[in-house]
Chain A
Amino acid sequence: MILEKSKGYKQVIKWLKAKKKKPFKFQKDAWEYYAEGYSGLVNAPTGFGKTFSLFLAVVIDELNNRKAIKTTSKKGRKTSGLKLIWITPLRSLAKDLARAMREVCTELEMDWQIGVRNGDTPQNEKLKQKKQMPEVLIITPESMHLLLAQKNSLAYFDDLQCIVADEWHELLGSKRGVMAELAISRIKGLIKEKHPERLLRIWGISATIGNMEQALDVLVPYEEVLKITVTADVEKKIEIKSILPDHIDMLPWAGHLGHKLAYKLLPVIEKSKTTLIFCNTRGQAELWYQNLLKLDENLAGQIAIHHGSIDYELRNWIEEAIHTGILKAVISTSSLDLGVDFKPVDTVVQIGSPKGVARFLQRAGRSGHSPFETSKIYFLPTHALELVEAAAIKEAARTQNIESREPVVMAFDTLIQYMVTLAVGDGFDDKKLYDEVKSTFAFRELEPPEWSWMMQFITTGGDSLTAYTEFSKVEKEDGLWKVKSRQLAMRHRLHIGTIVSDAMLKVKYLTGGYIGMLEESFISRMKPGSSFTLAGRVLEFVMVKEMTVLVRRSKLKSAITPSWLGGRISLTANLGAILRKKYNQTLDQTHEDEELDIILPLFERQAKVSHVPKDDEFLIELIKTRDGYHFFAYPFEGRQVHEIMAALIAYRLGRVKPISFSIAMNDYGFELLSEQPIPLDEENVKLLFSPVNLGEDIVASINATEMARRKFRDIACISGLVFQGYPGKYVANKHLQSSSSLFFNVFSDYDKHNLLLRQAYDEAFYQQIEEPRLAAALHRIQASKVIIVKAESYTPLCFPIKVDSLRENMSTEELGARIAKMTAEADKKQTQRRKKNDHQL
Chain B
Amino acid sequence: MTINCKGEDLILSKHRAIYWEAQKMLIISDLHLGKGAYFRKAGIQIPVHVNTADLNTLTTLILEFNPDSLLITGDMFHHQMNSEAELFRQWRLQYPELKILLIKGNHDTLKAKDYSDLAIEIYPKEFLCKPFRFIHDQPAVTDDYYNITGHIHPGVTIYGKARQLIRLPCFYFGKTCAILPAFSAFTGLSKINAAKEDLFYAITPEKVVLV
- The reply to whether B188 and A735 form a contact with Cβ atoms under 8 Å apart is no
Query: How far is the CB of A810 from the nearest CB of chain B, in Å?
Result: 15
A837 within 8 Å of B by Cβ?
no
Task: Tell me the complex Cα distance, A238–B146, Å.
Answer: 73
Contacts of B42 in A (CB 8 A): 488, 733, 736
B1 within 8 Å of A by Cβ?
no
Contacts of B43 in A (CB 8 A): 461, 471-473, 485, 488, 720
A747 within 8 Å of B by Cβ?
yes
Contacts of B163 in A (CB 8 A): 808
Given the interface pairs A462-B45, A468-B40, the reply to whether A742 lies near B188 with Cβ below 8 Å is yes
- The reply to whether A735 and B50 form a contact with Cβ atoms under 8 Å apart is no
- The reply to whether A738 and B162 form a contact with Cβ atoms under 8 Å apart is no
- The reply to whether B45 and A735 form a contact with Cβ atoms under 8 Å apart is no
Closest-by-CB residue of B relative to A741 is B188
Task: Tell me the complex Cα distance, A457–B135, Å.
Answer: 39
Contacts of A746 in B (CB 8 A): 46-47, 50, 185-186
B5 within 8 Å of A by Cβ?
no
* Chain A contacts with B in 202-258, Cβ cutoff 8 A: none
Query: How far is the CB of B86 from the nearest CB of chain A, in Å?
Result: 10
- The reply to whether A457 and B45 form a contact with Cβ atoms under 8 Å apart is yes
A298 within 8 Å of B by Cβ?
no
Contacts of B37 in A (CB 8 A): 470
A739 within 8 Å of B by Cβ?
yes
Task: Tell me the complex Cα distance, A497–B126, Å.
Answer: 46
Closest-by-CB residue of B relative to A751 is B47
Task: Tell me the complex Cα distance, A738–B185, Å.
Answer: 12
- Which residues of B are interface residues toward A (Cβ below 8 A)? 37-50, 53, 78-79, 82-83, 107, 161-164, 185-188
Contact of A461 among B38, B40, B162, B185 (CB under 8 A): B40
Task: Tell me the complex Cα distance, A721–B45, Å.
Answer: 7
Closest-by-CB residue of B relative to A747 is B47
Contacts of B162 in A (CB 8 A): 647, 661-663
- The reply to whether B161 and A662 form a contact with Cβ atoms under 8 Å apart is yes
- The reply to whether A703 and B46 form a contact with Cβ atoms under 8 Å apart is no
- The reply to whether B49 and A461 form a contact with Cβ atoms under 8 Å apart is no
Interface size of A as a range: 35 or more
Task: Tell me the complex Cα distance, A115–B188, Å.
Answer: 45
Q: What mask results when residues 420 to 462 of chain A are scored 1 for a CB within 8 Å of chain B, else 0? A: 0000000000000000000000000000000000000100011
- The reply to whether A745 and B185 form a contact with Cβ atoms under 8 Å apart is yes
Closest-by-CB residue of A relative to B46 is A746
Contact of A470 among B41, B47, B185 (CB under 8 A): B41
Contacts of A750 in B (CB 8 A): 47, 49-50, 53
Contact of A468 among B48, B53, B78, B164 (CB under 8 A): B48
Contacts of A471 in B (CB 8 A): 40-41, 43, 45
* Chain A contacts with B in 27-75, Cβ cutoff 8 A: none
A466 within 8 Å of B by Cβ?
yes
Contacts of B83 in A (CB 8 A): 469-470
A660 within 8 Å of B by Cβ?
yes
Given A461-B45, A485-B43, A746-B185, 7 more pairs with CB closer than 8 A: A461-B46, A469-B83, A662-B162, A736-B44, A742-B187, A746-B47, A749-B49
* Chain A contacts with B in 470-521, Cβ cutoff 8 A: 470-473, 485, 488
Task: Tell me the complex Cα distance, A662–B162, Å.
Answer: 6
Task: Tell me the complex Cα distance, A747–B186, Å.
Answer: 10
28 sampled A-B residue pairs with Cβ under 8 A:
A461-B40, A462-B47, A466-B48, A468-B40, A468-B48, A469-B83, A471-B41, A472-B41, A472-B43, A488-B43, A661-B162, A662-B161, A703-B164, A706-B164, A720-B44, A721-B44, A735-B38, A735-B79, A736-B38, A736-B39, A738-B44, A738-B186, A742-B187, A745-B185, A749-B50, A750-B50, A750-B53, A808-B163
Query: How far is the CB of A630 from the nearest CB of chain B, in Å?
Result: 15
Q: What mask results when residues 755 to 796 of chain A are scored 1 for a CB within 8 Å of chain B, else 0? A: 000000000000000000000000000000000000000000
Closest-by-CB residue of A relative to B161 is A662
Contacts of B46 in A (CB 8 A): 461, 746
Contact of B78 among A703, A735, A739, A749 (CB under 8 A): A735
Closest-by-CB residue of A relative to B49 is A750
Task: Tell me the complex Cα distance, A461–B46, Å.
Answer: 7
Given the interface pairs A745-B185, A746-B185, A746-B186, the reply to whether A462 lies near B39 with Cβ below 8 Å is no
* Chain A contacts with B in 706-754, Cβ cutoff 8 A: 706, 720-721, 733, 735-736, 738-739, 741-742, 745-747, 749-751
Contacts of B44 in A (CB 8 A): 720-721, 736, 738
Contacts of A663 in B (CB 8 A): 162
Task: Tell me the complex Cα distance, A660–B49, Å.
Answer: 39
Closest-by-CB residue of A relative to B36 is A746
Closest-by-CB residue of B relative to A416 is B45
Query: How far is the CB of B60 from the nearest CB of chain A, in Å?
Result: 16
